[in-house]
Amino acid sequence: MPNPAKSWREIPQRYRLEAGKCTKCGAIAFPPRLVCPQCGNREFAATKLADAGKLLTFTIIRVAPGAFEDQAPYAAGIAELDDGARLTAQVVDCDFAKLKVGMRVRLEFRRVSEDGAAGVIHYGYKFVPE
Amino acid sequence: MRDVAVIGIGMTKWGELWEKSLRTIFVESALLAIEDAGVDRIDSMIVGCMSSGLFVGQEHLASLLPDYLGRNPVPAARVESACASGGLALRQGFIEVASGISDVVLVGGVEKMTDVTGCEATFALGTAADQEYEGFHGLTFPGLYAMMAVAHMHKYGTTRRQLAMVAAKNHENGSKNPLAQFPFKVSVDAVLNSVLVADPLRILDCSPITDGAAAVILAPLEMAKSLKKPVVRIVGSGHATDTISLSSRRDMCWIESTQRAAQKALAMAGRKIGDIDFFEVHDCFTIAEIMVTEALGIVEKGKGGRAVEEGLTALGGKAPVNPSGGLKAKGHPVGATGVAQAVEAVKQLRGEAGERQVKNARRGLTQNMGGTGGSSLVHVFEAE
Amino acid sequence: MAGIIGYGAYIPRNRIKVEEIAKVWGADAPSYKKGLMLEEKSVPSPDQDTITMSVEASKYALKRAKIDPREIGAVYVGSESHPYAVKPSGATLGEALGAAPEFHTADLEFACKAGTEGMFIALNLVRSGAITYGLAVGADTSQGAPSDALEYSAAAGAAAFIFGKDNLVAEVLHTYSYTTDTPDFWRREHQDYPLHGGRFTGEPAYFKHVTGAAQGILAKSGMKAADFAYVVFHQPNGKFPLRVGEMLGFTRKQIDPGWLVPRLGNTYSGASPLGLTATLDIAKAGDMILVVSYGSGAGSDGFILRVTSRIDEVRDLAPRTRDMLDKNLNYLEYGVYAKYRRKIRKAE
C-alpha cells in the first residue's frame, strides 16, 4: 500500500482539474508541468480544465487490474474538452450500447479506487453523458 | 564509427517456464549465443528487462546476470524502456561496438512474468502507461490499445476482421517456430469468437504473458569476417520517444515514435523501406501491427488493415511481417522481445529459418516499442 | 436577514423496484408498496458515496449562489453514511469546491436529520457574522439490512444549501429544534446495519418529534398551517409525511411538491433537504415554506422560509430535483443491487 502522499499530491488535479496554460504558446498542460511540451517555455498561468467535451475514443474494459476487478466491465475513454485539452477517464452512467465516438460528455466527481476496505479512498473525475 | 555485426544468437523455448527462474532463463540463452558466436570473450553486457523488480522482486540485474553467467567483473547495465527494453539494449550494445568502447558485447533480454498472479502482471505491465493519468483510472494495456483500435477503425474503416487476420497470420508463421510459446495455427473465426478483454480487442488479439530470454553477441565487422558463420551486420539503428500518455499524442491513430525511429535507422543504413525484405514488429496487440506497418511506411496511413487482408504482410507476400510468429504466437516476455526480434532477423539473413524462411532475404528490419508508442527502437540488418 | 442564496440536488440514476426486492425474500410486494406508499428507491453506483454526491449537489448550489467558493467559511456534511468513520467528508468536499484552506468543517450525524443539523449551524454562523457564506449538505447512501423492511426504502441522494445575507433565494425567518433521548433506530460502531424498534418508530418517535417541532415553530412564529404555500416533512416512507401533515392541518397540495419518497425512497439525511430543493424548484416569490426534519435518536428541526423573487433567476441554473428523480433512469436487478451495495461476501 503506497504512502497516502502519492495520491494526496494529485488532489488539485483530481478534485479541481487545475492545469497550467503556457504563457508563450497557450498550450494547456494537465497536469501542470515545469516545461511546456509544445514550445519548451517554463512559465505557466494557472487555469482549470473545461468540464465538458466530446469522446474521441473509448473502450469497455472487461479484464481489470486488481483494484478495479469489482467494477469490471467498465467503460473508459479519451475526450477532447471544450478548451481543446484531452483527458482520459472512465465513462459511467451510460449504457455500453450508447457509447459513440463524438458523443458529448461532462465530468463528475466520483470514487475512482481505494486502497482496500481499510485504506484511503481515491476520488477523482469520470465522464458521464452530458 | 565502426561497422557492427551480430556474431552469435541464442534463444530457448518461451512459455510458462515454472521450473526456471529469471537467472536460469537468461543464462541458458546467453550461453547458446556465446556458443553460436564461437568467441569466448565478453567485454560488456547490456540487458533489457522491463521490471524484474515488480515481477520477481529482483533489481541489480547488472550484478546478478554477469555473476550467474560466470563473467564477473565484466561491466554490465540493465536498460528499461517498458516493452522496448530489448530493442534499447540492442541499440546500447550497438553504440558500444560502433564507438569502439567495447569489441564483444553480449546483448540480452529477459522477463520472468509468471511468478506473480495475472492481476499483478497486469498491474506491472500497466506501469508502462501514465500511472496518475491513465493507470489511476483503471486503464490497462488492452484498454489503451483498444482505444487506439476504435479511433483507427473510426477514422480509416479498419475492420474487426482485419485485426483478427493479423493474429491468424502470425500464428500461421509461429506454427513453424519450435521456440514459440504457441506454435500452432489459430483461425480468424477463433479470434473473432474469443472472449472480450477490452472492446473490441479479444483475448486472441493480445500477446500473452510469457517467461523467456534471448541474447545476441555483437562484434566489429572485421572480427565477424574471421568467423565461420554468414556475416550479418546491423546497418541502421534509430530511437525516438513520444508522450507517455495516449491522450497527449498529436494523432492517436499514428505511432510517431516508430515513424521517426525508422526514418533514422533507414537513413543510417542508406536504405528505403522498399529495400527491406522482411520485418519483425511489435504486435503486442493486433491493432499495433496494423499501425506499425503504416508508421514504418510499408503502406500508406490508414491502409494497414487492407495490407494484411490482401496478404501483403504474409510470409509469402511482398512485405512479410513477423515471420517468427510475432509477439502473438512467439510470446512476449517483455524485456526479451526486442532481442528475440534480432535473433529472428539474423536467422533469416543467415538462411537458417527453416520452414518460415523468407526467400532471398538480404535485409531485415526490427521494430520494438514501449507502452502505447512512448518509445520506439528500429534496427536494420543486412546480410553481408 | 440570513437565508439560502443557492441550493442544489443530486440523485443517482439507478433504481430498484419494491417488487424486485420482495421477490428475493419471498415477501408480498403489494402489501409493502401499499403499507409504505413506495414504488422504488434510488441506488448509488459503487463509485458514488456521500462525498461524491455532496460535491455534485454543492456544485449546483454554487451555480445558483454565484459566489467565489473561496468565500465559503464553513462546510458541513450531515450523513449517517460518511465514507470514513474518522476523516471528515467536509474536508474532501471543501477541497473539491475550492474552499480550502480557509474554512471550518466538522462532520455531523443525527440519523436522518444530519442534513438539517448542518443547515441550522451554517445559518447561525452567517447570522452571527462569524462567516460570510456557509454550506450545508444532507447526503446519504444508507444501507438497509437484507430482508428487513428498511431495505425497501433505504436510498441515496444529496441536497446542498449555501447560506448568506445577500441575494437571498429564500429568507430563513425562524428555526426551532426539538430533541429527546428516544432509541427508536440506531447503529452501534462496527455494525453494518442499523436496528430499529419496529412500531416504536412511529408514534413515540417520528410523530412525537415532528409534531413537537411543528407546533413549537408555529407557536414561536405566530403562524398557522394555512399561511404556508408548501410544507416539507421528513419522509421515511410515503405514509408518515401524509399522516403527520393531516394531523397538523396541511393539505396534499402543500405537501406534494416536496413529497419525493414514493419514487426516491428514504434518502435519510437528504430526505427533507431534497424535499426542500424540489419545492424551491417550483416556488414563487412570497411563498412561505415550512420544513420539519426528523432524525432518530431523536429530534426534529423546523425552518420557516420565505421565497424571494430571485428564485426565478436561479432555479434553472442547475438541474431540477424532479428531473433527476424522473429522467434517465437505470433499473437494477437484485443481484446487481446487492453487488453495488457490497452485500455479497467475497474472498478477502
pLDDT tens per residue across span B57-100 = 999 999 999 999 999 999 999 999 999 999 999 999 999 999 99
Task: Report how many domains make up chain B.
Answer: 2
Contact present, C and B (at least 3 Cβ pairs less than 8 Å): no
Residues C164 and C175 in one domain: no
Is there a domain that residue C348 lies in?
A: no
User: Are B246 and A88 in contact (CB < 8 Å)?
Assistant: yes
Which residue in the block uniquely carries the three cell numbers 442564496?
C5
Q: Quick one: how far is CA B152 from the chain centroid?
A: 22
pLDDT tens per residue across span B95-126 = 999 999 999 999 999 999 999 998 889 889 99
Containing A20, the helix (H) or strand (E) segment is strand A18-22
Residues C153 and C241 in one domain: no
Task: Report how many domains make up chain C.
Answer: 2
State chain B's mean pLDDT as an integer. 97
Residues B343 and B356 in one domain: yes
Average pLDDT over residues B273-300: 98
Is there a domain that residue C345 lies in?
A: no
Residues B69 and B163 in one domain: no
Cα–Cα distance measured from residue C334 to residue C143, given in angstroms and rounded to the nearest whole number: 14
Average pLDDT over residues B189-194: 98
Residues C132 and C265 in one domain: no
Write out chain A residues lying below 8 Å of B139, CB-based.
Answer: 61, 76, 88
What pLDDT sits at residue C348? 66
Nearest to A60 by CA among C37, B269, B143: B143
Residues C100 and C216 in one domain: no
Which grid cell sits at A65?
A: 487490474
Cα–Cα distance measured from residue B292 to residue B202, given in angstroms and rounded to the nearest whole number: 19
What pLDDT sits at residue B228? 86
Is there a domain that residue B123 lies in?
A: no
What pLDDT sits at residue C220? 97
Residues C151 and C187 in one domain: no
Count of other CB atoms within 10 angstroms of residue B217: 27
Is there a domain that residue B303 lies in?
A: yes
Cα–Cα distance measured from residue B275 to residue B362, given in angstroms and rounded to the nearest whole number: 9
What pLDDT sits at residue A2? 75
Residues 6+ apart with CB under 8 A from A56: A77, A78, A79, A80, A86, A101, B151, B252
Residues C100 and C225 in one domain: no
Which grid cell sits at B58?
A: 529482483
Range of the structural domain that residue B65 is part of: 4-117+210-225
What pLDDT sits at residue C193? 86
Residues B97 and B215 in one domain: yes
pLDDT tens per residue across span C129-184 = 999 999 999 999 988 899 999 999 999 999 999 999 999 999 999 999 999 999 99
Is there a domain that residue B129 lies in?
A: no
Cα–Cα distance measured from residue C202 to residue C95, given in angstroms and rounded to the nearest whole number: 40
Residues B163 and B74 in one domain: no
Residues B44 and B92 in one domain: yes
pLDDT tens per residue across span B350-363 = 999 999 999 999 99
Residues B203 and B214 in one domain: no
Tell which of B193, B225, B257 closes a domain: B225
What pLDDT sits at residue B81? 98
Is there a domain that residue C346 lies in?
A: no
Is there a domain that residue C302 lies in?
A: yes
Residues C52 and C191 in one domain: no
What pLDDT sits at residue B248? 97
The minimal CB distance from A109 to the residues C13, C56, C339 is found for C56
* Cβ pair C136, C160 in contact under 8 A: yes
Is there a domain that residue B260 lies in?
A: yes
ipTM for the complex shown: 0.94
Reduced to 3 states (helix: H, G, I; strand: E, B; else coil), residue B320 is coil
Is there a domain that residue C265 lies in?
A: yes
Burial bucket for residue A75 (CB in 10 Å: 0-12, 13-18, 19+)? buried
Sheet with C170-182, strands from edge to edge, namely C104-105, C72-78, C133-141, C156-164, C3-10, C170-182, C297-307, C288-292, C230-233
Which grid cell sits at C166?
A: 445577500
What CATH number is associated with residue B147? 3.40.47.10
Residues B241 and B363 in one domain: yes
Is there a domain that residue B169 lies in?
A: yes
* Cβ pair B52, B306 in contact under 8 A: no
Strand extents, DSSP E, chain B:
4-11, 44-48, 76-79, 105-111, 196-198, 201-202, 212-220, 232-241, 278-280, 363-370, 375-383
* Cβ pair C228, C288 in contact under 8 A: yes
Is there a domain that residue C71 lies in?
A: yes
User: Are A110 and C83 in contact (CB < 8 Å)?
Assistant: no
Query: With 70 as the cut, is the pLDDT of residue C64 above it?
Result: yes
Range of the structural domain that residue C132 is part of: 3-169+315-340
Query: With 80 as the cut, is the pLDDT of residue B294 above it?
Result: yes
What pLDDT sits at residue C312? 97
Cα–Cα distance measured from residue C104 to residue B149, given in angstroms and rounded to the nearest whole number: 49
Query: With 80 as the cut, is the pLDDT of residue B366 above it?
Result: yes
Backbone angles phi, psi at B196, to 5 degrees: -70, 140
Contact present, A and C (at least 3 Cβ pairs less than 8 Å): yes
What CATH number is associated with residue C196? 3.40.47.10
Residues C165 and C18 in one domain: yes
Nearest to C4 by CA among C221, C273, C184: C273
pLDDT tens per residue across span B326-335 = 999 999 999 9
Q: For residue B42, which amino acid is it? A: I
Is there a domain that residue B60 lies in?
A: yes
Backbone angles phi, psi at B271, to 5 degrees: -125, 165
Residues C116 and C182 in one domain: no
Is there a domain that residue C303 lies in?
A: yes
Is there a domain that residue C80 lies in?
A: yes
> Which of 89-108 (C) contact A at CB < 8 A?
92, 95-96, 98
Residues B174 and B217 in one domain: no
Cα–Cα distance measured from residue C157 to residue C142, given in angstroms and rounded to the nearest whole number: 10
Average pLDDT over residues C116-121: 97
Residues B40 and B151 in one domain: no
Q: How confident is the model at residue B187 (pLDDT cuts 50, 70, 90)?
A: very high
- Which residues on neighbouring strands pair with residue C157, listed in sequence order? C140
Dihedral over Cα of A98, A103, A106, A112: its sign: positive
* Cβ pair C258, C286 in contact under 8 A: no
Is there a domain that residue B364 lies in?
A: yes
Is there a domain that residue B122 lies in?
A: no
C13 touching chain A per CB within 8 A? yes
What pLDDT sits at residue C143? 83
Return the percentage of chain C with pLDDT > 90, whole number.
Answer: 94
Residues B27 and B168 in one domain: no
Residues C9 and C152 in one domain: yes
Reduced to 3 states (helix: H, G, I; strand: E, B; else coil), residue B252 is coil
Return the C-alpha torsion angle B94, B97, B98, B101, nearest 10. Answer: 130
Query: With 70 as the cut, is the pLDDT of residue B310 above it?
Result: yes
Average pLDDT over residues B232-239: 98
* Cβ pair B138, A62 in contact under 8 A: no
State chain A's mean pLDDT as an integer. 96
Tell which of B168, B190, B225 closes a domain: B225
What pLDDT sits at residue C173? 98
What pLDDT sits at residue A3? 84
The minimal CB distance from A62 to the residues B120, B134, B196 is found for B196
- Cα end-to-end span (Å), chain C: 55
Residues C45 and C67 in one domain: yes
Residues B95 and B80 in one domain: yes
Residues C165 and C40 in one domain: yes
C174 catalytic, yes or no? no
Reduced to 3 states (helix: H, G, I; strand: E, B; else coil), residue A64 is coil
Residues B56 and B144 in one domain: no
The minimal CB distance from A111 to the residues C47, C330, C339 is found for C47
Cα–Cα–Cα angle for B263, B266, B271, rounded to 5 degrees: 130
Number of A to C CB contacts under 8 A, please give it: 47
Which grid cell sits at C278?
A: 424540489
Distance from CA of B143 to the nearest CA of A (A): 6
What pLDDT sits at residue A25? 96
Which residue in the block uniquely carries the three cell numbers 465514507?
C83
Catalytic positions of B are: 83, 332
C80 catalytic, yes or no? yes
Nearest to B295 by CA among B341, B348, B249, B326: B249
pLDDT tens per residue across span A6-64 = 999 999 999 999 999 999 999 999 999 999 999 999 999 999 999 999 999 999 999 99
